[in-house]
Amino acid sequence: MPQIAQLTADNWYLASQLFWLLVVFAGIYVVIGRGMLPKIEATVDARDRKVADDLAAAKAAHAAADTLDESYRQQGDASRAAAQKAVADAKDKAAKDAEKRLAKVDAELGEKLAAAEADVSAARSSAMAEIESVAAEAASELVAKLSGVKVAAADAKSAVKAVLHG
């Protein structure tokens, strides 16, 4: 095994190995370990921080959007409720108006009807009176023609009245 044979036999072997190992490893430690590594680590740290910050910002934006959405929803609900109320009020009012007008029209019609009825009954009573007098005249004429008896007008009238009114 040359690694151990040389270690004990050759004078230059160990000194050369140690010298060059220390030179090379010290160089790596100083240039790479102390020089390059911290810069690379700083880059990685900066990236991690940036990613964390961006994530936090995104989360905050998400939360803001959520609250905005919620407020929009509440506003929408409120305006919808207001619109529904307005519609209900309008409906209510319209119904009330219609009722009032209907009642007015109803009353007018009732008055007209009553006036017409009164006219009719007046016409009927006058017509009835005329009929009575015509019938009494006719009856007294008939009696006179048939029997020659003159009937007093009053008698004829009362007789006709009795017949007409049962």
- Write out the residues near another protein by the rule CB under 8 A: 1-4, 6-7, 11-22, 24-25, 27-29, 31-34, 36-41, 43-44, 46-47, 50
**Residue 134 and residue 164: Cα distance in Å, rounded?**
12
CB nearer another protein, residue 6 or residue 133 = 6
DSSP state of 10: -
CB nearer another protein, residue 8 or residue 147 = 8
Q: Taking Cα atoms as reference points, which of 158, 104, 129 lies closest to residue 96?
A: 104
> In angstroms, what is the minimal distance from the CB of 59 to another protein?
20
**Residue 80 and residue 73: Cα distance in Å, rounded?**
10
CB nearer another protein, residue 38 or residue 76 = 38
> In angstroms, what is the minimal distance from the CB of 84 to another protein?
54
**Residue 143 and residue 151: Cα distance in Å, rounded?**
7
Please answer whether residues 160 and 138 qualify as being in contact, where contact means their C-beta atoms are separated by less than 8 angstroms.
no
CB nearer another protein, residue 25 or residue 72 = 25
